[in-house]
Amino acid sequence: METVFRYISMPILPQINPQFSLSNMHPSNYRMRLFFDLLRIFVLPSVVFYLITTQLIKMNINLLMTPPSYFVFIICWLISKSFLTRILQRAERQKLGAKRIPCIRGAWPGNVDVLLKMLRAFKTSYILDVYLQLFEEYQCTTLNTRILWTDHIITMDQEHIKFVLSTGFEHFWRGRWQKERMERFLGQGIFNRDDEMWRMVSEIHDKCQRSAFTDTIVTQKNQHRGNTRPFFARERISDFDIFERYTAQTLNIISSPSSHSVGKTPIDVQDLYSRFALDAASEFLFGQNLDTLSATLPVAGKTKMGPKGSATEDPWGSFASSFEMAQQVITARSRVGYFWPVFELFRDKNALNAEVVHQWLDPLVRCALGEKEKMKKAGICSPVAEKNFLQHLAESTDDPIIIRDQLLSLLLAARDTTACLLTFVTYFMAIYPDVTKRLRAEVLEHCGAAGSITYEQLRNLKYMRAVINETLRLYPPVPLNVRESRAGGCSLPPSDPTFKADYNANMMDHDPRPLHMPGSTAITFLPLLAQRNKELWGSDADVFDPDRWLEGERLSRFVANPMMFTPFSAGPRICLGQNYAYNEASFFLVRLLQQFDTFSLAPEVQPDGSLPPPQWKHKKGRQAEEKIWPAAALTLFVKGGLWVRVAREAH
For the chain, give every domain's residue range. Answer: 2-186, 190-480+526-647
How many whole angstroms separate alpha carbon 337 and alpha carbon 147?
Answer: 8
Residue 214 confidence (pLDDT): 36
Q: What is the mean pLDDT of the chain?
A: 86
Instruction: State the pairing for strand pair 304-305/267-268.
Output: unpaired
Residue 30 confidence (pLDDT): 87
Cβ atoms 51, 553 nearer than 8 A: no
Residue 173 confidence (pLDDT): 94
Residue 20 confidence (pLDDT): 44
Residue 396 confidence (pLDDT): 82
Cβ atoms 81, 92 nearer than 8 A: no
Cβ atoms 483, 168 nearer than 8 A: no
Residue 39 confidence (pLDDT): 83
Find the helix or strand (DSSP H, E) in which 326 lies: helix 315-336
* Model-wide pTM > 0.85: yes
Give exposure, 337-375, as e/b (b: 16+ Cβ within 10 Å).
bbebbeebeeebbbeebbebbbebbeebbeebbeebeee
pLDDT digits (tens, 9 = 90+) for 134-165: 999 999 999 999 998 889 999 999 999 999 99
Residue 101 confidence (pLDDT): 97
For the annotated binding site for heme, the residues are: 575
How many whole angstroms separate alpha carbon 5 and alpha carbon 17?
Answer: 15
Residues (pLDDT < 70) of the chain are 1-24, 55-66, 196-238, 257-263, 384-385, 501-510, 650-651
Residue 589 confidence (pLDDT): 98
Residue 646 confidence (pLDDT): 96
Cβ atoms 108, 148 nearer than 8 A: no
Residue 10 confidence (pLDDT): 35
For the annotated binding site, the residues are: 575
CATH homologous superfamily of 190-480+526-647: Cytochrome P450 (1.10.630.10)
Residue 17 confidence (pLDDT): 43
Residue 616 confidence (pLDDT): 97
How many whole angstroms separate alpha carbon 461 and alpha carbon 424?
Answer: 19
